[in-house]
Amino acid sequence: MKSVRAAYSAALVLVVSATIVVDTSGPAEAVSGSDWDPGFIVSDQQFYDSASMTASQIQSFLEVQLSQTSAGRCEPEKSYGPDDPIVCLKDYRMTTTDIAPDAYCPGGYKGAANELASTIIAKAAAGCGVSPKVILITLQKEMELVNHTWPSDWRYQKATGYACPDTGPCNPAYAGFQKQIYYGVRQFQIYRVKPTSYNHLAGVVNYVRYHPSSSCGGTNVLIRNQATAGLYNYTPYQPNAVALSNVYGGQNDGCSSYGNRNFWSLWWTWFGNPHATGALTNVTTSERISGANRYATAAALTKTFAPGAAVVYVASGQDYPDALAVAPIAASANAPLVLVRHDAIPPETAAELKRLAPTRIVVLGGTGAVNTATYKALTAYAEPGGITRLGGLDRYETARLAVRDHWDAGSASVVYIASGRDFPDALSAAAAAGTQGAPVISVDGTATSVDADTTALITELGATTIVIAGGTGAVSKGIQTALAAIPGVTEVRRLGGSDRYATSAAINTDAFPTASRVYLAYGGDYPDALTGAVRASIGGSPLYIVRGDCVPASIADDVARFGPVEATLLGGTGVLPMSVSTAALCR
């Protein structure tokens, strides 16, 4: 990781202005434009960490920044006269007013006389749940206030560029330092709470322009987290190649925009790596559901179901292909899911089946997954004639049979598509789909188009929205194109990331705007995530797959957006060791 510590006087960029004021010297150890990732400007965990700086730390920071300028001090003598008093940010004071709490800033603001700017920044950050670092950087990139040595009052009147649109003057109702600070950070929470109301969305591909001029073009960007989406909604442009050729300079080819580039480089300069995340600090309590093996863990997860279950689903605990479709079905049916061996019913499963005393048992997979002897043994736990096998010629037919067994024609407006060649993306989609009452259909992700049987099933279900779980390496572009061409389908969106963990985060970003509990399961094998997805989905909670030794940064970043949450770990310490139970971050 780079460490950037030298002082940096950033570009002055209004939300739409093409005027560039830069210090081209840059830091001694500078971040390079090649490090820029347009889909991940800053981690959610850092962006929403309102306790990252105290008022006294903010004050010290302002004093240090001013001392590192070429003047080394405030320069009030540069005033244009008595109507232009010069007060540097470290010395700025004002009497603030009360602002009532609301859904976006639950802490509100309690006004006071003669408050320092550092206090106003800290109180607004705490009230709205956004890092003071975000405010400091926004003040610099918009009005260069942090280290300006002779700022006039007009800079304070529109300090964060809030309510200063691209096409007109600033709204006078939001003029003034306190309002600019408070309503500026509040806007980032509005973006977070109401993401679909704005142009740039996290977890999906967005077209991000280079410049206000449409002739300058742009590129498709997978925006990986909410903080990045919020920054693009606040300043809707990305830097082009010219702007990135020197991230501390002002090169301009007429299509160069600097706001988000400067936010990113300023964070590096002042606070270090903006992508870094710590442990899951927002997890308040955690529990572990586990057994001596995967069968015992699955049985433990069904203990919340009362005896006399209408149906129990049974899947193989040894191989995943035929089992992938069952979790959202069990969740939608509010039914238990247990695991068996190919050639035997484990004692933990037998005991749980006896306790559940189901009317009906549905076995997923053909004899290659659950052999005839095991199937016959299962009949003892259901009412006479109450057992059904859903097994096709291959994993894809099995998935279609399972979907048709539960969903009637015209009953599923949303359908998830996942590769049947591997399990991680399908498992991440299971809880999301189950919460929405949607099926997950397995396809051969390497195919160039959608097979006729899958097309017929999607049409039969009446699906209008199709969600693809995974990137193009998991489910091809040809499949996506073919899905969009199915009559009645009006939306196809892809939720994918750089790896299985980033995909898990993207799926949950899309499906769960809020959560009070999260489930963590090992992403290197399928059984605990498969059975845990049912529990998570019924509870309306996301399930994330994680590494066996730590929590990937993409997962930590997505969980951070929920605020305080409880966590449930699925599986014993042999699967998820103590480093995961304490939410250690992968380094």
Lowest mean pLDDT among 16-30, 64-78, 87-101, 327-341: 16-30
CA distance 416 to 429: 7
Does 567 have pLDDT greater than 80? yes
To the nearest 10 degrees (0 to 180), the angle between helices 132-143 and 55-67 is: 30
pTM to 2 decimals? 0.58
In which band, very low, low, confident or very high, does the pLDDT at 15 lie, cut at 50, 70 and 90? very low
pLDDT at 4: 24
Q: Cβ distance 455 to 489 under 8 Å?
A: no
pLDDT of res. 564 = 85
Task: Reply yes or no on whether the pLDDT at 18 is more than 80.
Answer: no
Task: Give the list of residues 6+ apart from residue 408 with CB closer than 8 angstroms, or none.
Answer: none
Query: Is the distance from CB of 102 to CB of 156 less than 8 angstroms?
Result: no
Find out whether 184 and 160 touch, Cβ atoms under 8 Å. yes
* Model confidence at 51: pLDDT above 90: no
Section 236-257 average pLDDT: 90
pLDDT bucket at 501, cuts 50 / 70 / 90: confident
In the chain, the percentage of residues whose pLDDT exceeds 70 is 92
Residue 24 has pLDDT above 80, yes or no: no
The average pLDDT across 69-90 equals 93
Res. 13: pLDDT tops 60: no
Copy the structure tokens of residue 181.
Answer: 């600070």
Q: How confident is the model at residue 581 (pLDDT cuts 50, 70, 90)?
A: low
Cα separation of 271 and 112, whole Å? 29
The answer on pLDDT for 10 being more than 50 is no
Q: What is the mean pLDDT of residues 112-118?
A: 97
Residue 369 pLDDT greater than 70, yes or no: yes
What is the phi/psi pair of residue 314, to 5°?
-125, 130
- Inform me whether the pLDDT recorded for 30 exceeds 60: no
Q: How far apart are CA 94 and CA 115, in angstroms?
A: 5
Reduced DSSP (H G I as helix, E B as strand, rest coil) percent helix, strand, coil of the chain, to 5: 40, 15, 50
Please state the φ and ψ torsions of residue 12, each to the nearest 5 degrees: -90, 110
Amino acid at site 8: Y
Q: How confident is the model at residue 58 (pLDDT cuts 50, 70, 90)?
A: very high
- As a whole number of angstroms, the distance between CA 552 and CA 278 comes to 10
- 12 pLDDT exceeds 50? no
Residue 205, beta-bridge partner list: 222
